[in-house]
Chains A and B, each alone.
Chain A
Amino acid sequence: MAKRTMAVLSAATLGAVLAGCGAGSTSPAGSGANHSSPSAMVVTWSSNPQTIDPRKIYDGEDWNIGRSLYVGLYDISAHGQLVPMVAKSAPDISDHGLVYTIHLNPKAVWSNGQPVTAQDFVYALRTELSSQFQSPDTYLWWMIKGASAYESGKSAALGIKALGAHTLQYTLSTPYSAFPYVLGVPASFPVYPGAISRVAADPVTDGPYVVAQWKTGQSMTLNQNSHYTLEPRTYPKHLQFDFNVNPSVGVLRVENGQADLVADGIPSANYQQLKANSQYAADITAGYQPAVILLALNERVKPFNNPLVRQAVEMAINKKHLVKLMNGRAQVANGVLPPSLPGFGSDIPNPYPFSPTKAKVLLKKAGYPHGFSTTLGLASEQTGGSQIETEVEADLKAIGIQVTAKPLPTEASAQAQMPMMTYSWYMDYPDPADFVSGFLTSPAIVGGSNPAFLNDPKLDQMEARASAMPLGAARTALYKQIDERAMKDAAYVPLFYPELTYFHSSRIHGFTYPAVYFPAIYSQLKISGN
């Protein structure tokens, strides 16, 4: 999924203060004495959930909250394996990879005691893809038979049906080997049709938790779902999310024992001091996120329609220095496929390595010997937003390009006019197809997920071939070639693969490094002494 993601440090700054813990004097983070409840895990987040309806869940902490309330057919393990949840076992694949039949686990029940049925999944998908519903997740389902005609309201036929209460069948329009992974993302979770009016605020759920209280813009409390049996009930009895908390204040709260986790990760300002404090060694969990942060250079707006200008921009940007600005908590990116993607990370060479002098020559060749002025659209809550803004403005100024940063407008038509913008892609499921078909070869249309309007028919053909190939080395190699070819175009300038560093109280255990976007699966955590 793209854009709106974790706010590690947004350009427009939120709330308050600061870090700084007198090293030595402090006890391990949140030793527990101050916690209001020993059985509640408190999570701070700088933002607010957009929705808790799984059919609309798109990004941010929404994913983790969604996974706390619901489970789908499968989970994706830390190693990228499919783990059956509501499904009894792996799907039966027939008809040359076009038909997926899945048997449901009769033990899966809703929080009101009713069994989870195949009809619930059918209902969820048919409503999610309907034109009135306006889900941002429809792009995930492009391979379902009849999806596009159904979405535009031209046809009622859709490739999903229930064969009895506990058998579900998906039909695809084209073979797509990564399809079972799609059945692990929140957008594939079922909803309970019998209480659909409650789905937005107080839903009947089939996951580890139910909503106990939600004060919009302030906090949300979840209680264990007593009907849930798909995972051992060793996870915290209650989850409490505090919203609109500046991440730096969140860190202080964890240090003072008033919170257990900062969902945003550790801000740069606090990182050094936490890292230097040996007491916290066990309370910091880090890993590369399966994500890539990029600059999108709009091929439809002058002067970025000129490939030489795009190449000059990539050559001018000092990605290494940018990574240093992020306290080294990122890895320089040369392609879109992140190295943490299990088995797929493509370590391709940068076709336009850093060289301001060569960049100037290219600009001259392109007809801009004195540079030009342009605008950089900053996605809201962009990971590393202020660092990217500062670095790009300074680097491009050095080759004569004057950059003015502006918040990225929310309207698609206005975005299409934006010459240059930050863009990020967070993995939905551990397969390169998610990145490639998700934005690189996504149709170059206004309102699509390809904001640079990269349009290369050869690339599309390669992608069509790769996505149908069986999972394995040959497919991996082809995706690497796709990445390499796309990068030569320089419509997307990959900047870095971000690292997510969590700071949590020492009483919380069980963090595993996530293979997918879920940074924290709360039902896999434990509170010690509880």
Chain B
Amino acid sequence: MSAVANLQQPLERPRRNVSRRRAYTTLIVSGSIVFVIVAVAVLAPVLAPHNPDRLFPNGLSAAGNPLGPSRAFPLGTDQFGRDELSRLLWGGRPALLISVIASVFSSAVGILLGVAAGYLGGWVDTLISRFVNILMSFPLTLFAVAIVLIVSPSLINLIIIIAAIYWTYTARLVRAEVLTLREQDFVSAAHALGATPWRLMIRHLMPNVLDTVIVRGVLTMAQVFLLEAGLSYLGVGVQPPTPDWGLMIAQSQNYYGADPGLVLYPGIAIAVTVIAVTQLGQSYRALRRRA
């Protein structure tokens, strides 16, 4: 999906002239929103009024249509007679799980290979950079879809595929950063003091690129969130009956006119999450840069 392609480096480039205070406020606000979203997802089994997969015999109108809000179903039901609120509360779990794990993995791989490429240079750099370039040359969505088609769309497969694609962005950024760090005094000093390349990379370079990696990791989360929704829309992401925001939109997309909430609620949930996570990453970076 090209929106995702567009997001590859995007959000991090604009260097906003935000005052420190404003960045701080953004950090607090977006951080709290993210915290609430994560807390709701974790506590969904406790918070949800109903089992999200249960088909309620009284969950459909006589003609077999979804119900509007009522005391029993605060946001009404979906077209299968399931409680919409419960599904919404549970629905962030798969995407959060996928995006957190995939982003941690891709950050870990990205920082290792990025530092190695940037510091060691030579054939190591050539090899890694080439590989990054090649992986980035696959059309993202279609490539993910093709692989899922062959290996079947389980949660673990989705995480592996997404992590295997996204580490390249981290690696590329880290490499660039290490290239500039390498020229700085503390590196040559450490080198002169007889630090081994390993020690240098782990003790000196990695801590210095950690900020970049954290910010990149947070932004990766936001992008993976959208990618996962797109894959679910195409039917190769999270599988029914698992409650998942992307899948909820996909399954109810035709109800826009009959019962707009079924499309709007999960859409808004995705947008709020992505915005909050993105802002969290950007404000963190803004603060660190000024610090």
Contacts and interface: CB of A to CB of B under 8 A. Distances in A.
Direct contact of A and B (CB under 8 A): yes
Interface of A: 9, 11-13, 16-21, 246, 248, 267-270, 272-273, 275, 321, 324-328, 386-387, 389-391, 393-394, 397, 404-406
Nearest to B55: A394
Contacts of B233: 13
A324 B64 contact: yes
A261 B81 CA distance: 30
Contacts of B73: none
B253 A273 contact: no
Nearest to B56: A321
B256 interface: yes
Contacts of A386: 240, 251
A20 B258 contact: yes
B192 interface: no
A19 B257 CA distance: 5
Interface in B140-176: 152
B60 A19 contact: no
14 contacts: A9-B254, A12-B236, A13-B251, A18-B255, A20-B258, A268-B79, A270-B257, A270-B258, A273-B258, A321-B55, A325-B81, A390-B241, A394-B53, A394-B55
Interface residues on B, range: 20 to 34
Contact of A389 (B79, B81, B240): B240
B48 interface: no
A406 B152 CA distance: 8
B64 A326 contact: yes
Contacts, number: 94
A318 to B, nearest CB: 8
Nearest to B61: A272
B240 A20 contact: no
B238 to A, nearest CB: 12
Given A268-B79, A321-B57, A18 B64 contact: no
Contact of A324 (B60, B235, B236): B60
B65 interface: yes
A393 B240 CA distance: 9
A268 B253 contact: no
B227 to A, nearest CB: 17
A327 B63 contact: yes
A283 B261 CA distance: 28
Q: Which 5 residue pairs of A and B lie closest in terms of their CB atoms, listed nearest first?
A: A20-B257, A12-B235, A269-B254, A18-B256, A19-B257
A327 to B, nearest CB: 4
B241 A268 contact: no
Contacts of B256: 17-20
Contacts of B29: none
A481 B54 CA distance: 38
B80 interface: yes
A272 B258 contact: yes
B241 A393 contact: yes
A282 B54 CA distance: 37
A195 to B, nearest CB: 39
B239 A405 contact: yes
Nearest to B79: A268
Contacts of A21: 257
A328 B63 contact: yes
A129 B250 CA distance: 42
A17 B55 CA distance: 24
A275 B79 CA distance: 17
A324 B234 CA distance: 26
